[in-house]
A = this chain, B = another copy of it.
Amino acid sequence: MLTKKQFAALEKESRNWLPGHSIDCVVLGFDGKLRVLLLKRVHSDKWALPGGFINKNEHLDDAARRALKDRTGLKTIYLSQFHTFGAFERRGKTEVDKTIQQLVSLNQHLANWFSQRFLTTGYFAFAEINKAHPEPDFLSEKCEWVDLEKIPELIFDHRDIIQKSLDYIRLRINFLPFGKTLLGKKFTMSELQKLYESILNKELDRGNFQKKILKMNFLYRHDKLLTGAANKAPYLYSFNKKRYDELTKEGIGYI
């Protein structure tokens, strides 16, 4: 339960929000698997996407950036809008929002706020997992990177939102700088390949992948990475960001 003081602060903040509209962010990270940032809601078994409301004098995109900053501490994250969800009953007729019910039922203004019909605009973002500092919001008790293959039950239409973001990303794979934004400074070719495979959701031929990527000429090759394993050591690579940005603008050719 929120304290009286927290209630007051929240209520005050809420009076500066644009009614009827929210933003939700599908924040993706990669550590061998694609992961999405989710919040475990209090007083409920369900999870939710990080999101927020729009201040009355704030650009929609800035509201999304602000939500990301609050949830991950990251400012320079890649962020892009993909769809606005406008169903009349986004929550489903039988679904009850237990978190809200328990949290704000005592405050009439906030209870009204959360019982509005909301349109929500979906944004997706790419972040480096080990640079982010996940931080729950006032509706949640945990904020974690969850394997995209093992998504728990989500509130409202948040599963649809994730699905739609993935469809969108796959379609634009040639125009999105996910390499630069999801991998660390240096990485091996097989890490890059695994990233592409995760996003495209299919296996790629090792030799052809390497040939194709190297020919595009956006990677620097560095020293080998000695892992201690009994096999040939892979080279480390990093992005030539200028060249990579050019390519993603005109459409890097992976599909």
Q: Which residues of A contact B (CB under 8 A)?
A: 18-21, 54, 56-61, 63, 81, 83-88, 117, 119, 121, 171-172, 175
Contacts and interface: CB of A to CB of B under 8 A. Distances in A.
A63 to B, nearest CB: 8
Given A21-B119, A60-B85, 12 more contacts: A18-B119, A19-B19, A20-B21, A54-B86, A58-B88, A59-B86, A60-B86, A61-B86, A81-B83, A81-B84, A84-B121, A86-B121
| Residue among A21, A57, A63, A175 with max Cβ neighbours from chain B (10 Å) | A21
13 contacts: A18-B117, A19-B19, A19-B20, A20-B20, A20-B21, A54-B86, A56-B117, A60-B85, A60-B86, A61-B86, A63-B86, A81-B84, A84-B84
Contacts of A121: 84, 86
Given A57-B88, A61-B86, A119-B60, A18 B20 contact: yes
A83 B20 CA distance: 18
- Closest A-B pairs by Cβ, 8 of them: A60-B86, A84-B84, A84-B121, A57-B88, A59-B87, A59-B88, A20-B20, A59-B86
> Interface on chain A toward B: helix, strand, loop, or mixed SS?
mixed
A165 to B, nearest CB: 14
Contacts of A63: 86
Contacts of A54: 86
A175 to B, nearest CB: 8
Contacts of A18: 20, 117, 119
A249 B18 CA distance: 37
A105 to B, nearest CB: 24
